[in-house]
Structures are given as C-alpha cells and as structure tokens.
Amino acid sequence: MNPTANATLTAHSTADDIARNLSLVNEEIAGTAAKIDEQQVADVARHLNQPGRVFVAGAGRSGLVLRMAAMRLMHLGMTVHVAGDTTTPAISSGDLLLVASGSGTTSGVVKAAETAAKAGARIAAFTTNPDSPLGGLADAVVTIPAAQKTDHGSSVSRQYAGSLFEQVLFLATEAIFQSLWDNDPQPAEELWLRHANLE
C-alpha cells in the first residue's frame, strides 16, 4: 500500500468506525448462527463420535477454520489429518472427511469428497448450498445461511466476500468440539498434554 493511501485509511479509521463495524460483525454472526439447524450440527458430532480417522479439507479461509477444528479434535485424542499435508495418509472406509465450501462447488473440495466417497469414507459438509455438488456427496450437511463469496450485492451480509460464512463455520466447529468435550471425562489438563510442544 502506498503511503498516501495508508494515511487516508488511517485518517478515516476512527474509533466510531471500529465500534460500528464490531457491532455489524457481531450482529451478523449472531443472526446467522441462530438460523442454523442444531440437529444438522449434532449429526456431524455423531459422525465424529464414530470409530475411524478424521480428515479435513477446505480451501482458503474455510480451510484455515477447518485446520483450527482439526487441532481441537486432536486435543480430544482423535486421529486427525489435514488433506494436502505431506504426511496425510490415504482415506479409507470407516474414516470421516470433514469439508467446507460456501458455494459447495469449490473444485478441490468437491474432488476430495468424491475421492472419499469412492473409498467408502463418510462425508460431513458445511455449505450455504445443500443442493450443491458437495451437498449431494455428503452424509451429513450443515447449511450455513450466509452469502457466498461471489455474491457482492447480497442483502444477507454487508461484509466482504465469504467472511460471514467463515465466521459462523468457526462458531459451529467450536460448538461441536465443546459438545464432544462436554460428554468426555478428560479434564483440560489431559487435553493440554497433546498440545504441540515443538513450536
């Protein structure tokens, strides 16, 4: 960014702007999260409770959210792999693929789901469009009623691109982790023993 543009941005980024946008983001997240079907999310938690390894696959910011979810599931003692990492093994029957795509058409994510389905793995998907190719491949679908990232004129969200989808995806995966942990006897101290120590 050039210095002139940076100075202009700084001059216009007032405390009032920040307060207004904190409220905007908070209200959009709360309103969208309230519209999620809790039973759909519970179905994903049920799949996570079944035997088998867990794999996560997502592109861009959705993929980053799923990486955070993978870390929390690992803390619970699950065997979790992130698609694309060099040490990720082949998915197979009995495993679960956890995927996210706002549009449900992200090519790499859909391809991963197709591969998982052919291998006999179960698929749990988060998307805005349950009728998408990704939704059609999934055994469990959570519909997040947010704008797709290319829907720039959406009345659903004033935020840029897929921000609302990604924010609510984070909340949903955190709620799943918290619910799984609520029904797990392991104390926080035991989970913490699995936290990375090569940082």
Q: Which residues are catalytic?
A: 166
Tell me the angle at which helices 163-182 and 60-75 cross, rounded to the nearest 10 degrees. Answer: 10
Q: How far apart are CA 6 and CA 74, in angstroms?
A: 41
The b-or-e profile of 24-62 (16+ CB within 10 A means b, else e) is ebeebbeebbeebeeebbebbbebbeeebbbbbbbbbbb
